[in-house]
Amino acid sequence: MRTIGVLLFPQFELLDVCGPVEVLGHRLLADRQRVVLIAREAGPVPSVQGTKLVADHGFADRPPLDVLLVPGGQGTRKEVDDAAFIDWISQASAATPVVSSVCTGAALLARAGVLDGRRATSNKRAFDWVVSQGPRVEWVRKARWVEDGKVWTSSGVSAGTDMALALVARLVDTETADLIAHVIEYTRHADPDDDPFA
């Protein structure tokens, strides 16, 4: 059973989390992987939209992870300066086989040093700010998502769903990824370089 941990923090972007979770936690994968939500402390965490998601675990009691997903959102502007938060991301990333981000979540990975020496992308509307968080990163402006070793980063918001489907294709198989896209009635961008918003 693969465990996928999704990081929550105040003012996270709701679709950055819910899009990938729709894919990674799909019932077709129920016998292979589970999704857990993680925050500083277990309990409700407000999104930028106001809707709250409930973290299953706090930092102190998170289970071992196979995949870590870091969303973006307005809250990233504050969290990049929280040394303890960034240190947790750094330590969790080092211990996790696959690390991913959606949108400005790449800024958090960059500040944690996770993206140093790697190719990565992020939300185009916030691209320059994200780039400023990681001067040792090879930023790719035109990409729906970028895979570099164990690290996957996606462009803005809905691009996280495409990245999640690509992760399923890699971790499970392409047929399952295509079937999930069909079941959720989602038109998938299967080419990471096909970035209509660049």
| Catalytic residue numbers, as ranges | 103
The pair phi, psi for residue 111, each rounded to 5°, is: -65, -30
SS3 per-residue string spanning 2-40: EEEEEECCCCECHHHHHHHHHHHCCHHHCCCEEEEEEEC
Classify residue 149 as exposed, middle or buried by CB count within 10 Å of its CB (0-12, 13-18, 19+). exposed
Tokens at residue 84, please? 């303890």
Q: Which amino acid belongs to residue 132?
A: S
Report how far residue 198's alpha carbon sits from residue 70's, in angstroms, rounded to the nearest whole number.
21
Q: DSSP secondary structure string, 140-171?
A: -SS-SEEEETTEEEE-STTHHHHHHHHHHHHH
